[in-house]
Amino acid sequence: MQEILEKVDQLKKEIQDTSLSTSEELEKYRIRFLGTKGLVKELMSEMKNVSNEMKKDFGAKLNEFKIFAETKYEGVSSTDKESANEAIDYSLPGFPSETGSRHPIQLVMNKMISIFEKIGFTVTEGPEIEDDWHNFNALNLPENHPARDMQDTFYISKNPDWLLRTHTSSVQVRVMKEGKLPLRQIFPGRVYRNETVSARAHCFFHQIEGLYIDEKVSFADLKQTLYYFVKEMFGADVKVRFRPSYFPFTEPSAEMDVSCFICASKGCTVCKHTGWVEILGCGMVHPNVLTNCGIDAEKYSGFAWGMGVERTAMMQYGITDIRVLSENDTRFLDQFKNVV
Ligand code: DAH
């Protein structure tokens, strides 16, 4: 016991003489004296070897030593401790907080949405996990219909009736079923297809679809609406052409091309030297679809269209690989800073 008390005196002297002016010295001191395996702890553990009558005196001595060691450490003020860690120059300007940027897909979607909003279309969103009826059956695409092959998708193993929607036409079904007519809405959102991922195709992408239902709606209304859209979106000089096409949910159906605004129809890789780029599918809503959704097909008619967002975004920003849109590489995304 005497031995230990002598050691305590010796250590007190050592503490007195220790300099604590650098971060290394501070840390070394903390570990040697105050750490979990430090000398204070080690000496305290000697208590168990001390006889009962000596415990009080011995305990007091050790406690005093503990406080002595701690006081020395705490005596170094916290700012001194920090500046011992590194010299901070408080007059330097702070790091600016990053504001991020809008994603090119969102930029294009916003523009498309605002164009249709100006002529009275409202926006409705729906679920990305759909049931077979909303995605296919209601749209005149019964099971085993060959046109389902064009839209193979991902099924949810828990329930084979659930799938990731292949188009936002499923949202058209949802609003038609609500039965509030007339209807003038657009449906932006993400859709999924079981496609091999490449520079030109991905297993998910974005669409904006639209639907107009009222009495006496005609194909002329469809054309006029889409002409207006093209003029606002791509410019007054861009030409439009319709090609007859097939979709199970519209009759008649068409695909709409715009003259290539990249090369002014002179021929480039974007338009594959044809001078035209396909941008959407459209048509008059099939009477079976209206009936499936509880709308009187004798009284009402309507038109609908669906367009992809990625293609237009890639053309507008000169993006040649669709995969960069979902890689979250900030070197790519930072280029859209300040774009609104
Ligand atoms: N749903 C179609 C697709 O994803 C696009 C489409 C074509 C939607 C014609 C429509 C339409 O509403 O009328 O390929």
Q: Which residue has the tokens 């000496």?
A: 43
The pTM of this model reads 0.73
Ligand 1 center–CA 228 separation, angstroms: 19
Q: What is the pLDDT of residue 302?
A: 98
Gap from CA of 105 to ligand 1 centroid (Å): 19
CB 102 within 8 A of CB 339: yes
DSSP designation for 328: -
Q: What atom in ligand 1 is closest to the CA of residue 166?
A: 4
Residue 199 contacts by C-beta under 8 Å, 6 or more apart in sequence?
A: 320, 321, 322, 323
Contact status, residue 105 vs residue 333, Cβ threshold 8 Å: no
CA of 263 to the centre of ligand 1 (A): 27
Give the three-class secondary structure for 192: strand
Measure the CA–CA gap between 249 and 142, rounded to whole angstroms.
11
Q: Ligand 1 atom closest to Cα of 191?
A: 4
Residue with CA closest to ligand 1 atom 8: 306
Cα–Cα dist 128/304, whole Å: 20
Q: Are strands 183-192 and 240-247 parallel, antiparallel or unpaired?
A: unpaired
* pLDDT of res. 290: 98
pLDDT given at position 54: 86
Q: What is the pLDDT of residue 233?
A: 96
246-252-255 Cα angle (round to 5):
55
Q: Where are the alpha helices (DSSP H) in the chain?
A: 2-17, 23-29, 39-44, 52-75, 78-85, 104-118, 132-135, 169-178, 219-234, 287-292, 310-317, 330-333
Pocket test for ligand 1, best of 135, 163, 167 (most atoms within 8 A of CB): 167
Residue 24, pLDDT score: 84
Amino acid letter, 96: P
Each residue's pLDDT expressed in tens, for the chain with a length of 340 residues: 788 889 999 999 999 999 888 888 888 999 999 999 999 999 999 888 888 888 898 889 999 999 999 998 888 866 666 665 567 788 999 888 888 899 999 999 999 999 999 999 999 999 999 999 999 999 999 999 998 988 999 999 999 999 999 999 999 999 999 999 999 999 999 999 999 999 989 999 999 999 999 999 999 999 999 999 999 999 999 999 999 999 999 999 999 999 998 888 999 888 889 999 999 999 999 999 999 999 999 999 999 999 999 999 998 999 999 999 999 999 999 999 988 8
Dihedral angle of Cα 261, 266, 272, 275, to the nearest 10 degrees = 60
The residue whose CA is least distant from atom 7 of ligand 1 is 281
Classified as helix, coil or strand, 130 is strand
CA-nearest residue, atom 4 of ligand 1: 167
Site to probe by mutation for ligand 1, drawn from 136, 168, 205, 209 as the one with most ligand atoms within 8 Å of Cβ, is: 209
> Which residues' Cβ are closer than 6 Å to ligand 1?
167, 169, 209, 247, 250, 281-283, 304-306
At 295, the amino acid letter reads I
Instruction: Please give the pLDDT value at position 81.
Output: 64
